[in-house]
Structure 1
Amino acid sequence: MQDARIRSVAAVFLWAAVLTVLLPGLILQSHGLRLSAASALQLVVVAHTGGALTRVLTAAEVRFVALGFWVFAYIWLGLAPLAMLASDTYPWPYRPGGTTALGAVAVVELGLLAHSAGTALAARHGRARPDTAPAGLLERVLSRRLAPWRLLALCAISLAFAALLIAGQPGRLTAYFTSRQAITETGGDDASLRSLISWSLSVPAFWALLGLLRVPRLADGDRWLRGLRWILLPLLVALNVVVNNPISKPRFWAGMVLLTLLFSVPRLCRPRTFRVTAAAVLAALLFVFPYSDYFRYSDRESVAVVSLADQFTTNGDYDAFQQVQTGVDYAGDNGFEPQNALGPLLFMVPRSAWPQKPDDTGITLARYAGYDFHNLSAPLWIESYLWAGPFAVVLVFLLLGALGRRVDDVRHRLRGVPGTLAALLVPAFAFYQMVFLRGSLLAIAGPLTLLVAVPLLISIPTARASRLPSSALPTAPTPHASIPGTGGHP
């Protein structure tokens, strides 16, 4: 049955009106609309992102990856730039010209069109693919199942590492509930080492808790495992409260942890419930996220509630479009730099061994703009544009759209099988995708690698699982371990 036959006409109309008329209208009501080619094209971007997000929120299937992409595109590259172009006000001092603004909007829309084309091609290929076709690499990876004993080993390692690290740093537990600045100051002078240690504690702790909640029950009984779960669960909950809370970790990461744990409950992955929860997530990002950076610094100012349009034009969290503009000017002055694409791929190579290793793109653009502060974003649109211009933008987003649709389709096919990476890794990647899209890539390559590598290490292939009597792949959904308060299959 086609989506068009299943979608509610009323729901489509309501969401389209809210996303493409009401919210943009509220922004323009505050500042008016400066008539220009850039602002006219930006209205096209708003209509494109709002329409695509409407499709996700009214679809008959749950599409986590599509949700993450279009939520980011709609807010950070749809509404926020509309407010900036309407008011000619930006978060940072750098001011590009009108031609640059038009070029930046064109780069953004080009990436969105390529992403939509990649999604459509992947959907068409998926419909034409016979059900008897052998599983591809992506499906084999996402069908991997959690291995209970590997998971328990990860739990033990996470707790032991946390005990050593937290006990050995100044401030101990107190620092994790003070501010991100306090955590930074207790980590010493080596920023790279400090970041590595922090993520090496946070990511395994997250996966240990998520895996413990969703690991399937063993076919031959699991009395010992059940007892260990009862012991480890409160410890892992407490550990994640310490190392993955929004006070000591970036808000995007803390939000990803919370949303992944939330959507790991099967009842919330039903289409109707998913749509309601996704709408709540969108509302929280629009109206709560701007004020959630309260704990970033130890010296806190009082929270001033301002309009959505003012948040978009004065809050540095929404600098994505301005950074795209800065990047367009940078490319005009310095040309394209294809070699910089190797930086995120080879992020583990130290600069001592690779003196010409590319700098973080956000830092490069901050220096070009003459800022004293360098902790800025570099959206994937401008990252790819700086590699090889429009060609690179089209290629990157075409592949990203196809991959995202493919991942969502595989998760949908495996939705009835508990304990697979499709049920756990896909939501985690989908929500971390907003960090990936915001960039810069070199800064997030390490955490992203850990986010994907850890679940691979605590899972085994489906073919191998089917040969083990203690973890045989069920022909029907199997109940999860009996852990209080975690939900389960209906």
Structure 2
Amino acid sequence: MAVEVRDVAPTEPAGPTEPPVPPDVPPVSPRAVLSRALAVPLVLGLVFLLPGVVAALPGPGIRDEAYWLQLVLTGYAGARLAAMTLTVRRRLIQGSFWMFVYVALGVAPLAQAVLGQTPTPVVGTRSDLVLATTLSLIGLVAYDVGVLLARHRPVLRNRAPRRTASVSRRRLYLLVALAFVASALFVVKLGGPAVFFSSRQEISEGIQSSGVAAADSESHVGSAFLRGFGTVPALLAFLFLTRWLVTSRAARRRPLVLLMWVGLLGVNALVNNPISNPRYWFLTVMFSILFTAFPKSPVMYRAALAMGVVAALLLFPFMDRFRYDESGHRPVESESAFDPLVRKDYDQIGMFANTITMVDSGTGHAYGRQLAASTFFFVPRSIWHGKPLDSGVRVGQWMGMQNTNLSSPLWAELWLDFGPVGMTGGFLGLGYLCARADRRYTVRTLDDPRPGNVLAIVIPVVAGYAFILLRGPLLQASGRIGIAMVCLALVTTFRSDPRKLLH
């Protein structure tokens, strides 16, 4: 009797332990592999075509060492972004990292160098700009080295199995209740729903008039807590319910779950819309929802990265329309698609150069004080006398700028605190952690279809929030991180009782 022999694809062992030998994830479906007809134009467009178009723009920019280093950085970032887009395995955090680098540290500064215009004045010498570009490139190489180290991390075969973090059903209901109450308090404090569809300027004025943050105070702890608790619990509760509905047929049959999901959809449309929130936070909202609703779709992952670059270059600068009311609004006038890149948010390389100039002028490195202020963001200045300002404000005040709401990219943050060695080591560790997180997310989302998989929510949120962390300043970004950690701790349990978990 003939016996049919079938090839069985290797799969991951069940349970929380990680596979002992590579490859570290199961085989992927054919849909995950992009055809050569699409892959080749993508690589050529990101690495050569778009930088070449920018470099060919007519402008009075100087073609010196800074220009050529910027061109190399753009090509390097384009190659890495293409690799993230073409990979058969979704790497959410790394993909977000390289998308930010390609746009904010690559194409935009290259356009500024060609056109001879910068959104923020570079007060130092040309050598400081050269050094800033060189250090940015060194940070990217260190990041990739960290990724390689994570890929070749030795496996401990005899280690004890880890307990799996899951979402408690009762605690999730508690988070949903907290989201409704906190968002309702946020709306009431600002004077009603109408203000959320006016402008960000009116939101800030509403927070000032609510008495939570005094207008003459340097501490923004009160306003950060009000904004954070009004927006973060609503987003996280919505993401947990979305995954529950996506992965569980039983949940879709429960009227209570559907009712909560619809209610939180309305709450997020109110408090997390692009009119009342900074654009980077709205990107976080959209990326986290997209990757949570489509956790296994390689098509959606590639579309998010590819369209993210297009949106950042063409649409993102014009979304500043909602920052001010009609009296303070200045329409963006541009003769080409690249003109907004020299007028808006892409001042990261220039601010890094200004940070280097400030340190060299005699202020010196902070040796961890800036990082300590970001870590203990919740301590008000009335208690912590001499608490450092966020790095962007500090550099802006040193420059004599009237508007000190400036960026401070992670490269500048690490340089200001720890110098070149600390910055390189920081990006080495960052690359390692990002690669480990992406790897674990890929394995757990493929092998663990549980609705209560906490990691399936955490990684999409981190991938979206990476834009804010990379742009900086860290002190401004810390508030929502702390609130998100409180919300995650609230719903997470390590018990294995299926009656108390999502199913």
**Category of TM-score, reference length = shorter chain:** 0.7 to 0.9
Report the equivalent of 1:309: 338
Shift, 1:264, TM fit? 1.1
Measure the CA separation in 2 of the matches of 1:383 and 1:113.
18
Report the equivalent of 2:468: 435
Report the equivalent of 2:48: 21
Kindly provide the amino acid, as one letter, of the partner of residue 429 in structure 2: L
> Quick one: structure 1 residues 220 and 283, their matched pair in 2 at CA, closer, same or farther if it must change by over 3 Å?
closer
Measure the CA separation in 1 of the matches of 2:117 and 2:249.
64
Shift, 1:442, TM fit? 0.9
The 8 Å contact of residues 179 and 233 in structure 2, kept in 1 or not, is answered as yes
The 8 Å contact of residues 219 and 471 in structure 1, kept in 2 or not, is answered as no
Kindly provide the amino acid, as one letter, of the partner of residue 341 in structure 2: F
**Segment drifting more, 160-169 vs 204-213:** 160-169
**Segment drifting more, 8-17 vs 270-279:** 8-17
Match of 2:67 among 36, 39, 52: 39
| TM-score (norm: length of structure 2) | 0.85
The 8 Å contact of residues 202 and 243 in structure 1, kept in 2 or not, is answered as yes
The 8 Å contact of residues 366 and 374 in structure 1, kept in 2 or not, is answered as yes
1:186 counterpart SS class: helix
Shift, 1:192, TM fit? 3.1
Shift, 1:214, TM fit? 1.6
Measure the CA separation in 1 of the matches of 2:198 and 2:500.
45
Measure the CA separation in 2 of the matches of 1:275 and 1:133.
36
Report the equivalent of 1:210: 239
> Quick one: structure 1 residues 283 and 357, their matched pair in 2 at CA, closer, same or farther if it must change by over 3 Å?
same
Shift, 1:394, TM fit? 0.7
Structure having the higher helix fraction is: 1
Report the equivalent of 2:12: none
Measure the CA separation in 1 of the matches of 2:257 and 2:96.
31
Deviation digits for residues 26-55 of structure 1 (CA, Å, limit 9, x no counterpart): 212223563211111112211211111011
Shift, 1:186, TM fit? 1.2
Shift, 1:374, TM fit? 0.9
Measure the CA separation in 2 of the matches of 1:307 and 1:122.
42
The 8 Å contact of residues 27 and 308 in structure 1, kept in 2 or not, is answered as no
* Match runs of 1:414-453 below 5 Å: 414-416=444-446, 417=448, 418-419=450-451, 420-453=453-486
Report the equivalent of 1:475: none
Deviation digits for residues 200-231 of structure 1 (CA, Å, limit 9, x no counterpart): 110001111111222279999779x9232132
Measure the CA separation in 1 of the matches of 2:102 and 2:335.
20
For structure 2, the residue ranges without an aligned partner over 5 or more in a row are 1-21, 215-219
Report the equivalent of 1:155: 176
Deviation digits for residues 237-267 of structure 1 (CA, Å, limit 9, x no counterpart): 111111000111111111211221122123x
Match of 1:458 among 488, 491, 494: 491
The 8 Å contact of residues 94 and 369 in structure 1, kept in 2 or not, is answered as no
Deviation digits for residues 161-196 of structure 1 (CA, Å, limit 9, x no counterpart): 3334423433x1110110111111111253431221
The 8 Å contact of residues 209 and 236 in structure 1, kept in 2 or not, is answered as yes
Kindly provide the amino acid, as one letter, of the partner of residue 359 in structure 1: L
Report the equivalent of 1:483: none
* Match runs of 1:82-121 below 5 Å: 82-121=110-149
Asked whether 1:178 is paired with 2:205, we answer: no
Kindly provide the amino acid, as one letter, of the partner of residue 152 in structure 1: Y
Asked whether 1:287 is paired with 2:308, we answer: no
| TM-score (norm: length of structure 1) | 0.87
Measure the CA separation in 1 of the matches of 2:410 and 2:196.
31
> Quick one: structure 1 residues 148 and 218, their matched pair in 2 at CA, closer, same or farther if it must change by over 3 Å?
farther
* Percent sequence identity over aligned pairs: 29
Kindly provide the amino acid, as one letter, of the partner of residue 99 in structure 2: V
Deviation digits for residues 91-139 of structure 1 (CA, Å, limit 9, x no counterpart): 12344321111111011011111101101110121xx536775556xxx
The 8 Å contact of residues 362 and 378 in structure 1, kept in 2 or not, is answered as yes
Report the equivalent of 2:11: none
Match of 2:224 among 187, 195, 220: 195
**Runs of 4+ more than 4 Å apart:** 5-12, 130-136, 216-223
Shift, 1:85, TM fit? 2.0
Deviation digits for residues 393-431 of structure 1 (CA, Å, limit 9, x no counterpart): 111101110000000000011113233122111011011
2:322 counterpart SS class: coil
The 8 Å contact of residues 218 and 471 in structure 1, kept in 2 or not, is answered as no
Report the equivalent of 1:357: 387
Measure the CA separation in 2 of the matches of 1:217 and 1:284.
27
> Quick one: structure 1 residues 165 and 39, their matched pair in 2 at CA, closer, same or farther if it must change by over 3 Å?
closer
Match of 1:254 among 270, 276, 282: 282
The 8 Å contact of residues 218 and 470 in structure 1, kept in 2 or not, is answered as no
The 8 Å contact of residues 314 and 337 in structure 2, kept in 1 or not, is answered as yes
Report the equivalent of 1:341: 371
Measure the CA separation in 2 of the matches of 1:119 and 1:84.
30
The 8 Å contact of residues 219 and 469 in structure 1, kept in 2 or not, is answered as no
